[in-house]
Structure 1
């Protein structure tokens, strides 16, 4: 990697990092909303008296038909969040590496 390539990358990567960070923040918000939606449905089901289990396991089993799609959605959003986190950390490490390379180039 020559100096001009390092300079170009140093100019591009911060914007890519900013975009990845924004996508990550959106994914965190989406997960919070998905969890809120699931909790809301659970409260609704309990409030309507559709759950009468004597212990937590029985209550979860009775609630499952009403919440399984929302639970699936939460899992999908969590997986998407992890992917965005990987992308964000990739660009963060790339920027740090480029900065190190640039410092070394100035010494040499």
Structure 2
């Protein structure tokens, strides 16, 4: 299975590409930490109950990718970029 390059900013197109081409994610457990602003349009990332500070997901499970895609609160309101930085467990500042 081909593994996706996750050393980039995540967007909806990449998530769709992973789903439709059955690409693998390099980490078993991925930690997402809310950014302070969108990397594309610089809109501030507002914390609210539907947009948590920290998310842990197995991105090799299609239902987790679909969950991200179906929930607009995870994405910038003005574009298609994820409002979270992503890390493996050993690099997550929230957990260490």
For Structure 1 versus Structure 2, the TM-score category normalised by the shorter chain is under 0.3
Between Structure 1 and Structure 2, which shows a larger proportion of helix residues? Answer: 1
Between Structure 1 and Structure 2, which shows a larger proportion of strand residues? Answer: 2
Query: Which has the bigger relative contact order, CA under 8 A and spacing at least 6?
Result: 1
Structure with max Cα Rg: 1
